[in-house]
Amino acid sequence: MAPAYEPVIDQHDTWLAINPVQGCPKDCAYCYLQDLGLTLAKPTELATPAQTLAQLLASRYYHPALVLALYTCTDALATPRTRAHLSELLDVLGDSPARNPICLITKCTVTDDIVAAITRNQAKGLRVIVYLSYSGLGPDIERGIDHEALRGNFPRLHTAGIPVIHYWRPALPQNSTPAVIESVMDLASQYAACSVAVGTKVKPTAKEQIDALWPELTNPALDPQAADSVWPRATWNWLQERPSRYDTHPVYQTNCCALAYVLGEADHSCIWNTPTCLNANHCPPAQRERCATLLPLQAPVTPNQIRERLSVIGHNNLPHTYDGQTRTLVLHEAVPLSDQHNLAQVLRLTVRAPQVPGERYWSGSRAGGSPLIVDPS
């Protein structure tokens, strides 16, 4: 299968994705790159670090307040060449005027050279957060991953003073037993600032791929693609009733809230005081107080700001209405999800719009989706 490359700069739900290298030599069975022909693939450089910075700053999506997620179409720590690219890109960003927070997501060993690259650019004022993707799945599903090295990243990064968010995904029947969940959480809660549990995402082109891992999803009565996320009943119940020994470890179902917590900021994504905030996110009292204090003080969004941002992303004169009381922008024509996400993140509001036919990305909560809880057969 010929690879189908993603844009080097692209807007995702939570962050601006930066993908100058694409293709991963690993072969995780659930990976969203699989149907793009980008797993079991030699990583391909689409832009040098200097070219990446230039494309970032020139992108219609760029804004100084956005979080940047590096290398979401590969694991940048998987090969010496991708690690060298990452190290140089961190240096380029560290020497640039851009001061966006940086996220790096990995399952691979965080080597000495990368620890050094992160720490020297932290010293320049770059905020770098490492997401360690660890969910208790084995080598039969996460093929090519050294799980012992992955677990060793937690204490190593903690000792180096590099902030860690534990990425607990995907939720599948294979990692849904209390024994597996608690072995994961016992490690993560010692070293990570918080955990993000996002369930399983089923994009439009990956239904058969996920069905092979989770036969219950073949039930025609279920619609996993319309859900915000899909959960085994056992995992969902554990999250709702988790043992008290994890009470001081924050667990979020929304990446934006985890990032706000780690960065010491209030919610940017209109999550505060919603059912997700109140019922799904296990958030520390001090963070809830931060949101309760700061969010009522945020400046209102003006009609001019909305028109200007619509113009920047290529939608001059797009018909829309805005409710300032609920900070909800309704677009009256179909708009790609990436554009909706950018409007929501830059203006810090909720966006509703008709969906573009054939949308390649999962819509989830943007289209009003809710979690789907699946009972075992």
Per-residue model confidence (pLDDT) at position 366:
52
Q: Which of 53-62, 81-90, 95-104, 194-203 has the lowest mean pLDDT?
A: 194-203
SS3 293: helix
- The tokens for 241 are 């009733």
Task: Give phi and psi for 255, each to the nearest 5.
Answer: -60, -40
- Asked whether 374 and 344 are in contact (CB, 8 A), the reply is no
Confidence bin at 368 (pLDDT 50/70/90): low
- The alpha carbon of residue 209 and the mean position of all alpha carbons in its chain are separated, in whole angstroms, by 20
- Asked whether 131 and 169 are in contact (CB, 8 A), the reply is no
Q: What is the mean pLDDT of the chain?
A: 94
Query: In the predicted model, is pLDDT for residue 73 greater than 70?
Result: yes
Per-residue model confidence (pLDDT) at position 365:
56
- Asked whether 202 and 225 are in contact (CB, 8 A), the reply is yes
pLDDT, tens digit (0-9, with 9 covering 90-100), for 148-199 = 999 999 999 999 999 999 999 999 999 999 999 999 999 999 999 999 998 8
Per-residue model confidence (pLDDT) at position 358:
77
Per-residue model confidence (pLDDT) at position 363:
59
Per-residue model confidence (pLDDT) at position 364:
52
- pTM, two decimals, is 0.96
Give the Cα separation of 30 and 195 in Å (integer): 20
At 184, which amino acid appears?
V
Give the Cα separation of 181 and 177 in Å (integer): 6
| Nearest Cα to Cα of residue 299 among 257, 345, 349 | 349
Query: In the predicted model, is pLDDT for residue 204 greater than 90?
Result: no
